[in-house]
Amino acid sequence: MGAVEMFNGDSASNALGMRLLEVGDGKAVVQMRVTAAMVNGHGIAHGGYLFLLADTAFACACNSYGPVAVAAGADITFVAAAREGDLLTAYAEERVRFGRSGIYDVSVRRGDEIIAEFRGRSRTIGKTPASGERPDPAPPQGMK
């Protein structure tokens, strides 16, 4: 399964109106407009939605090669607030792949302004879960 097929089957991302703009070897660009339902009690975009946007771009980038890759971990730094109506674009780019693991950086932007920086760690699994066969287990905590 490739990144486009994975994205098309991603109910969560599609329900939020995300659009996959570009995908290629180790890269992806995903866009989302902040809606009223995504705004928290401070009147700014809830960080969980920003994480979800970045995570979706990360997933598309690390699945762009074909083997099924899943997140082994990720973190995000919020740089600026996003507000209702903002059009956000997440740019994901591979930093390194080694063995079955990879590291990807994602910049979430509003135009040229950086809103958040995300780093994701991926792990390829042996078989696709859709095949009915068990995927390889995740590595033990702390193992790379």
pLDDT digits (tens, 9 = 90+) for 54-99: 999 999 999 999 889 999 999 999 999 999 999 999 999 999 999 9
pTM of the model: 0.86
Evaluate if residue 136 carries a pLDDT over 90.
no
Could you tell me if residue 135 is inside a domain?
no
Range of the domain at 60: 3-129
Could you tell me if residue 142 is inside a domain?
no
Distance CA 60, CA 35 (A): 23
Could you tell me if residue 47 is inside a domain?
yes
Return the CATH number at 81.
Answer: 3.10.129.10
Could you tell me if residue 139 is inside a domain?
no
Please report the beta strands in 12-86, taking only residues with DSSP state E, as ranges in sequence order.
19-24, 27-33, 69-78
Could you tell me if residue 64 is inside a domain?
yes
Could you tell me if residue 68 is inside a domain?
yes
- Tell me which of 141 and 68 has the higher pLDDT: 68
Could you tell me if residue 105 is inside a domain?
yes
Q: Is 129 helix (H, G, I), strand (E, B) or coil?
A: helix
- Tell me which of 143 and 47 has the higher pLDDT: 47
Could you tell me if residue 69 is inside a domain?
yes
6 by Cβ neighbours in 10 Å (0-12 / 13-18 / 19+) ranks as buried
The residues near 66 (Cβ < 8 Å, ≥ 6 apart) are: 1, 2
Mean pLDDT of 2-22: 96
Q: How many domains is the chain built from?
A: 1
